Chains A and B, each alone.
Chain A
Amino acid sequence: MKYTKLSKEAYNLHFIYTNRFKKTRIRINFKEKLDEEKIVYRNMLSLVLMEATKKFNSRRLLEIECENLYDIDVGSGTNILGNYNILSFYTAFINEKYTEPKMTEKSLEFFLDFIFNPDIKDNKFNEDTFNVAKNKLHVDIEKFSDNPGRLADYNFRKLVAPNTPASIKAVGELKDLDTVTRSNLYEYYKYLINNDLIDIFVIGNINVLKLEKLLDKYFKNKSIKENSSHILIHKDKTKLVTKKDTKSINQSILYMGGKVFDLTDFERWYVLPIYNEILGGGPASKLFSEVREKNSLCYYATSYFMGVSSIEVITSSIDSKNCDKVVKLINIELDKMRKGDFTDADIKKAIISNTAFLEEMEDSPDSIMRMYQNYEYLHLDLKDRRIKLFNKVTKEDIVRVASKIEIDTIYLLEGSKRDEKND
C-alpha cells in the first residue's frame, strides 16, 4: 500500500495504491465552513444530483445504468465535521479484469457525470427531479423525531453544547428548505464547485494519471486557505442541567455528558479513547459489567468522546422507572475512574483493543480511506504512530482526564408506552 498526495490548485488528490481489493473506491469531498442556513442547500444537492444527469434524466435510468456497469455503487451524503460541512460523492466499482475491457473508464465517466453534468436547463435544475428531491428532504426533516435514538441524541447535544456546531441538526430545518428554488440551488451549485475545498480520495489499483486528466477538465484553478475543523468550546454551565421529554415509545433513552476542557492533543486522541474503552467501550467495560450484567438494567450502556467537539457522552436504553438507579450506578463508575480504581490489566486490555482495531483497518478499504481523511482534516496521526502513542498512555494520564470530565447534563427521552400491554 502506498499513499501519495497531489496538491493541485483546485483540489487535493489522495491516492492510496493497493492491488489488494477487487474494487476501486473514490470519494470526492466538497468542504465548506458551516453555515446553518446553507445546510439544506447542501443536502438538496446531495439528493438532486443523484436523481438525474444530463445523459440519464431520471433515477430509474441511472439505476439501470448502474446495473449495466456491473453494479457500480454511487452515492452521496453530507456530514458536519466540527466547523465544516462536507458534501461527499462516492463510488465503488469492480476492476475491469473481472468484467469487460474499458469498464474503468466508463465507470469513472459515469460517476463524474453525477457531479459535473447535472440535468440543467435555463440555469435551473430540472423541475421533476428537483421536486422529488425537495419532497424527500421535506419528509426527512418532518420525520426527524420518528427515530427515538436520533431524537434523544439531538436533544442531548442541544443541551450539552448549545449554540455550537455540535448542536446543529444535520438534516436541516423546514424554514430554510422553503427558500430553496430550482434557480438559487443551481447558483449555489456553481458556487460550491468553484469555492469549496475539494479533496479526492482514491483507493485501489487504477491509473491515477488518467483520473487526474479527467478531473482537470472539470475543476478550474482556485486557491483557498483552510481553517481548523476543531470547535472552540467555552464554559456555559455552572450547575447540572437535567431535562426530560416524553414520547409515545416503549423504551426510554438516557444521555449523560459534559464538555471537557483544557485537553492536549495527546489527551484528546489517545488518553480519552483508552479512558472510554475502560469505562464503556464494550462488553468487557465497567458500564457493561455494572449496569447490564450485574444489575440487568439495560441491553447496552456505552460511553464515547466526541473528539472534535470535546463532549463526553454516556448513553443507555432503559426502563424509565430505573432511571435514578442507572444514573447512580454510572456516577459511581465515573467516580471510580477519577480515583484510579481500575487495574493495569484494564489499561493493557484497552490499549490492545485500540491497537487491534487499527491493525484490522488494513482489511477494510473504507476504513483506510477514513484514516487518511482524518489525517487530512483533523491532523490525526496515521496507524503506526497511533499505535505507538496509544502504548504510551499511563494510569496517571487516565486519572488526569477523568478528573476533567464533569457531567453537567442529564437527558431522558421517556417512553410513555412502556406499561401498556403490547406483547
Chain B
Amino acid sequence: MKKTIKNLGLNIYSKTLSNGMEVYLIPDKNSHNIYATYNVRYGGKDNDFVYEGKMITVPKGIAHFLEHKMFENEDGNEVFEFYSKSGANANANTSNIKTTYLFSGKNNFEENLEYLLSYVEKPYFTDENVEKEKGIIIEELEMHKDNPSSRIMEKCLYNAFVKHPYKYPVIGTVQSVKSITKEDLYKCYNTFYNPSNIFIVISGNIDVNKTFKIIEKHENKRNIKNKEIIRKEYKEVDKVAKEYEEIEMDIKYPRFGIAYKINIEDYPYDKDLFYKHIMNAIDLKFGTTSLFEEELRNKKIINDSIYYTGVKTDTHFIIVIGAETTNVKEAEKRIREEMTSLSINEEDFKRRIKLSIASTYEVLDSIYAMNSMVINQLMTRNEIDYDPIKTIKSFNLEEINKYLSKLDLSNTTMCVVRKDK
C-alpha cells in the first residue's frame, strides 16, 4: 500500500506479510544512503510474561543483554565483520519498549538486508558466551553511573514508580546482569522475537519492489506461527514509592530533579499528543522563553537552563524538572510554587504551532529522521499520521487547557546530587 504524507510529499509503502511482520519503505531518491531498522516490540520493561503457559519473571536488563548477544553467532563476532566488508555501519539499541537492529550503507544493500533478516533470527547462546558478555555490559553500566544527569533520572524513576517496570534501568543492575543465563535468554527470544511482534522500516535510496521482494522471500521461507504475547499488567498507584533521595558525586555544583507523577487515565483522546501538550506547557513555564527561567538565571539561583524530560506509561506520565544550582532549597521552592497548575495562553500557542510545522518539514532532510518518525509513531500510536500539518492545526487550545487544568500535580519525588564529602 502506498500512502503519501500530505504537504511533505513523502511516500510510504507498507505491507503486512503473511507471518504478521510489518514492512514500511520510505524511498528517497535524493539520498545517497540507505538506513534499515529491524524493530522488535520488546524492551527493558518486559520482564514478566507468560512462557509455556506460566507467568515467569526474568532478570532485569535482559532485553538489552539479548540485543548484545544477537551479534554473536557460532563463528564469533561475525555480524560486525560482515557489515564492515561493505563499509556499512551496523548497530543496535534497546529502550524500555523496543529493541532495534540497524545498518546504514548503500553498498551491497540487498545482501546486507538479507543478512540483517538472517542474523536476528539465529540466536546462539552458550554458557561461555553469556558469561563473557557480562564483563562488557557491566563496563557499559559503570559508564552511566558517572553521569549525574543519568543518575538523577534513574533515581527519580526508581522512586516514582511502585510496581511498573520503568522503575528499573533498561540496562539492569550489576546483580541482575550477573544472574542472566542462556536459558533466560532463549525464553525471551522465543516469546518476543516473533514476526508478528516485529516491524521493519527502511528509508533512503531504495527500489521499493525489489526491497519488498527480498523481505517477503526471506520471511516466506520461515515457518513460524504467530504467537500471542501475554505481558503482566501492572496496577500502578498515583503515590510515589519514595519522596526524596540524595546521592553524592564528584561534582562542583549540586544538581537536582523533581519528578511529577501524573495520572492521565481520564484523558479521552490520543495520549501521545497529550504528552506533547504537557511538555509544551512545561517548556513555556520553565524553558528559555519563560520569565521564570530568566529571573532564576539572572539571580544566579540556577547556573544555566532548567531542564525537563519525561517518560510515558499507559496510566501515568513522569515529568522530571531540574537544574544545576547554587541553592537547591530556593530553586526547589520556586519550581514547586510554579508547578501547581499548567495551562497555555493563546499567543504562546500560536507561536508553538509555527514551531511544530517547521519541525515536521525538517524530517525531509534526513533519512534517519524519516525512519525515526515512523518508528516513533508506530510505537506510540500504532499508526502513521499521514496529515501531520492538519493534526497540528486542529489542536484545540480550550480543550487542551481543560485537561491540563485537571491534572493532579501533587505526587512528586526529588533526587539531589551533592558534592562528595
Q: Which residues of A contact B300 (CB under 8 A)?
A: 135
Closest to A95 in B: B361
Closest to B132 in A: A296
Mask: chain A, 402-423; 1 = CB below 8 Å from B; 0 = not: 0000000000000100100011
Contacts A67-B351, A70-B354, A132-B298 given: A283-B80 contact, CB under 8 Å? Answer: yes
Q: Which residues of B are in contact with A by a Cβ distance under 8 Å?
A: 30-33, 76-77, 80-81, 83-90, 104-107, 132-137, 139-140, 142-143, 145-146, 148, 173-175, 249-253, 287-291, 293-294, 297-298, 300, 303-304, 324, 351-352, 354-355, 357-359, 361-362, 364-367, 420
A142, B303: Cα distance in complex, Å: 12
A20, B294: Cα distance in complex, Å: 38
Q: Which residues of A contact B33 (CB under 8 A)?
A: 359-360, 363
A283, B91: Cα distance in complex, Å: 9
Contacts A63-B289, A296-B134, A298-B139 given: A355-B362 contact, CB under 8 Å? Answer: no
Question: Do B357 and A415 have beta carbons less than 8 Å apart?
Answer: no
A58, B294: Cα distance in complex, Å: 9
Contacts A145-B252, A415-B146 given: A365-B365 contact, CB under 8 Å? Answer: yes
Chain A contact residue count (CB 8 A cutoff): 65
Closest to B137 in A: A299
Shortest CB–CB separation between residue B303 and chain A, in angstroms?
5
Tell me which of B84, B145, B354 contacts A422 (CB under 8 A).
Answer: B145
Tell me which of A64, A353, A363, A364 contacts B289 (CB under 8 A).
Answer: A64
Shortest CB–CB separation between residue B85 and chain A, in angstroms?
6
Question: Do A94 and B145 have beta carbons less than 8 Å apart?
Answer: no
Tell me which of B87, B90, B132, B420 contacts A357 (CB under 8 A).
Answer: B87
What are 5 A-B contacts defined by CB distance under 8 Å? A146-B148, A148-B146, A248-B420, A283-B90, A356-B105
Contacts A67-B352, A148-B146, A283-B80 given: A423-B251 contact, CB under 8 Å? Answer: no
Question: Do A284 and B250 have beta carbons less than 8 Å apart?
Answer: no
Closest to A136 in B: B304
Q: Which residues of A contact B294 (CB under 8 A)?
A: 58-60
A360, B85: Cα distance in complex, Å: 16
Q: Which residues of B contact A23 (CB under 8 A)?
A: 362, 365
Question: Do A352 and B252 have beta carbons less than 8 Å apart?
Answer: no
Contacts A99-B357, A146-B252, A296-B133 given: A353-B87 contact, CB under 8 Å? Answer: yes
Question: Do A299 and B104 have beta carbons less than 8 Å apart?
Answer: no
Question: Do A282 and B134 have beta carbons less than 8 Å apart?
Answer: no
Question: Do A70 and B358 have beta carbons less than 8 Å apart?
Answer: yes
A292 within 8 A of B: yes
A4, B209: Cα distance in complex, Å: 39
A318 within 8 A of B: yes
Q: Which residues of B contact A247 (CB under 8 A)?
A: 250
Shortest CB–CB separation between residue B228 and chain A, in angstroms?
35
Q: Which residues of B contact A296 (CB under 8 A)?
A: 132-136
> What's the A-B contact tally at a CB cutoff of 8 Å?
169
Question: Do A22 and B250 have beta carbons less than 8 Å apart?
Answer: no
A136, B305: Cα distance in complex, Å: 10
Question: Do B107 and A423 have beta carbons less than 8 Å apart?
Answer: no
Would you list which residues of chain A between 135 and 150 have a CB under 8 Å from chain B? 135-136, 139, 142-143, 145-146, 148
Q: A352-B107, A363-B33, A423-B174 are in contact. List 18 more A-B contacts (CB 8 A).
A: A68-B351, A70-B354, A70-B357, A98-B357, A98-B361, A135-B300, A136-B303, A143-B251, A148-B146, A251-B145, A293-B136, A299-B136, A356-B107, A359-B33, A360-B33, A360-B105, A363-B31, A364-B366
Mask: chain A, 262-294; 1 = CB below 8 Å from B; 0 = not: 000000000000000000001110001100110
A352, B250: Cα distance in complex, Å: 43
A249 within 8 A of B: yes
Tell me which of A22, A360, A415 contacts B32 (CB under 8 A).
Answer: A360
Among all A-B residue pairs, the 7 with the closest Cβ atoms: A296-B135, A356-B87, A284-B84, A283-B80, A352-B87, A248-B250, A143-B252
Q: Which residues of A contact B80 (CB under 8 A)?
A: 282-284, 288
Question: Do B253 and A94 have beta carbons less than 8 Å apart?
Answer: no
Question: Do A251 and B143 have beta carbons less than 8 Å apart?
Answer: yes
Shortest CB–CB separation between residue B172 and chain A, in angstroms?
10
A230 within 8 A of B: no
Question: Do B366 and A363 have beta carbons less than 8 Å apart?
Answer: yes
Shortest CB–CB separation between residue B155 and chain A, in angstroms?
11
Would you list which residues of chain A between 36 and 74 have a CB under 8 Å from chain B? 58-60, 63-64, 67-68, 70-71
Shortest CB–CB separation between residue B180 and chain A, in angstroms?
14
Q: Which residues of B contact A354 (CB under 8 A)?
A: 87
Closest to A316 in B: B139
Shortest CB–CB separation between residue B359 and chain A, in angstroms?
6
Question: Do A128 and B146 have beta carbons less than 8 Å apart?
Answer: no
A250 within 8 A of B: yes
A317 within 8 A of B: yes
A319, B143: Cα distance in complex, Å: 10
